[in-house]
Amino acid sequence: MRPLARARGVWALLSACASNPAPAPDGARRDTSVDAVALDAADKPEAPSPPMDTLPPSDSSPPDRTFPDSTLPDTTLADSAGMDAPSLDREDGAGATDVPREPAAVCLPVCVGGRRCEGGRCVNAWAPMAGAGAPAPRSHAAVAWTGRELFVWGGQNVLELLHDGALYDPVANRWRPVARVGAPSARFRAVAAWTGSEVLVWGGRNLSEPLQDGARYDPVTDRWRPASAVGAPAPRTNGVGLWSGTELYVWGGLGAELEATGGRYDPVTDRWRALATTGAPSARTQCVGAWTGTELLVWGGSTGDGLVRDGGRYDPVMDRWRALSTEGAPAPRSAASVGWSGTELLVWGGYTSSADQFRDGGRYDPRTDRWRPLALEGAPSARGDAPAVFTGRALFVWGGLSSDRSTRPATVVRHDTGGLYDPVMDRWEPTEPLGAPSPRNEHALAWTGSEALVWGGAGTLMRLASGARFQP
């Protein structure tokens, strides 16, 4: 039947039913709702009634659109004819502008980490980063997010250290080089932080020794200038390096020996000050840390006597350390994934003392000085050396390294999987594997405010110069 003929037939049928409802043919649906029959026939346009054989069979399904029984509108007859039902909200009874829509599928349980619900399924998206203009393959690069671009500099290729880099703009999906003039010497595992106007790069290691110098890079002018080394901490790598909003904090790490010292650098005055040592945690490397907004937190890592599960909190106003509670803390570990949720320190994964890996973790609340465990269900497979960022709603962990001891000798496994941990729901969900970068560890990871950028790192056979953008 033509749509116009069907529409006219339905109008006529509705008009007749409004004044004198007639019994429906056997098997046909009877609609006696007020919305379907209480229309004023005088306000409707007159139309000749088509022959009855032009009406749809009583057992036919409404064309084009279907509704679950619980959501069928009262104007089913008009809707099934492919036309808008008249609105009872309008005085003239003219055609409605609000057409019932098929309800969106709901994701249950609710998607974590801000992931989108599409078709009843929690989804996220990977998109490749441009390869043209990207830096040479590398791992252990200095990385920072400037508010507009991903800064990648230095690092290690298989047989050489690098002292070049590039900036990646995710909006334009484009790389541009970082100036080499005035840049620090080649190094890997250096600390990097964005101050709001410059990237600070400090410390790290070259092929023969740890370093204690650094420089400041302005992405607007594409220029480097040196940072003072006067009063700087002893040379080191693998410690904690965090930006507080006004100062760069450096603590712990491995230099000529394990360090239990640190320093704070003010870029406005270009000056270093030492951190107090009284009450500080024991010397260690591969520990994790976070800035809470008022304190520096340090936890875990490897000491000369093995792995530890203790830590400390540093108050820069008082220049004083206090110990973290160990009650309920995760088992001793090194190279764990870490993030700050805004209220808690989140720690997950890492290496055991026997070179195995963890897939559990804990959350520390500095307000109560208490630890609680992270959920295990749905967590990624056990691994260490997996960078993490907090997205504002979830801890995003991706990549990393583990060992398969079912083979002899044990096989090193790099991962191309990850997870999102929502601390409010205390729940993990896996990241979408479709479009994810190839397996890697020691890669760059940064959060832009809307997506995570993964780039470079150590692949199965070589260093990498590829990456992708993850949109939770």
Instruction: Give the pair of three-digit tokens for residue 263.
Output: 């320093």
> Phi and psi (nearest 5°) for 125?
-135, 135
Instruction: Give the pair of three-digit tokens for residue 302.
Output: 């490897």
Contact by Cβ (8 Å): 102, 68: no
Parallel, antiparallel or unpaired: strands 142-145 and 150-153: antiparallel
Q: Which residue has the tokens 């020996």?
A: 257
- The per-residue pLDDT for 472 is 87
Contacts of 458 (CB under 8 A, 6+ apart): 139, 414, 440, 441, 442, 443, 464
- The per-residue pLDDT for 125 is 83
Divide the 472 residues of the chain into consecutive groups of 10 and give the mean pLDDT of each group: 42 39 39 33 38 38 36 32 36 41 64 68 86 98 98 96 98 98 98 98 97 98 98 98 98 97 98 98 98 98 96 98 98 98 98 93 98 98 97 97 84 95 96 92 97 97 97 90
Contacts of 348 (CB under 8 A, 6+ apart): 336, 337, 338, 358, 359, 360, 361, 374, 379, 388, 395, 397, 421
Which sign does the torsion angle of CA 457, 461, 465, 470 carry?
negative
- The per-residue pLDDT for 434 is 86
Number of CB atoms found within 10 A of residue 131's CB: 10
- The per-residue pLDDT for 282 is 98
Q: Closest Cα to residue 288, out of 252, 327, 236, 323?
A: 252
- The per-residue pLDDT for 120 is 81
Instruction: Give the pair of three-digit tokens for residue 43.
Output: 């306000």
Q: Which residue has the tokens 């880099």?
A: 165
In the chain, domain spans:
3-80, 116-471
* Half-sphere exposure (Cβ direction) of 449: Cα atoms closer than 13 Å: 8
- CATH superfamily ID and name for 116-471: Kelch-type beta propeller (2.120.10.80)
Whole-number Å distance between alpha carbons of 223 and 184: 12
Q: Which residue has the tokens 């064309």?
A: 63
pTM > 0.95: yes or no: no
The helix (run of H) or strand (run of E) holding residue 102 is none
Parallel, antiparallel or unpaired: strands 345-348 and 361-365: antiparallel
418 - beta bridge partners? 398
- The per-residue pLDDT for 405 is 77
Whole-angstrom CA distances from 108 to 71, 111, 380, 456 are 19, 7, 21, 36
Q: Which residue has the tokens 């006597």?
A: 305
Q: Closest Cα to residue 77, out of 100, 107, 110, 94?
A: 100
- The per-residue pLDDT for 121 is 78
Three-state DSSP at 261 gives coil
Instruction: Give the pair of three-digit tokens for residue 202.
Output: 């400090």
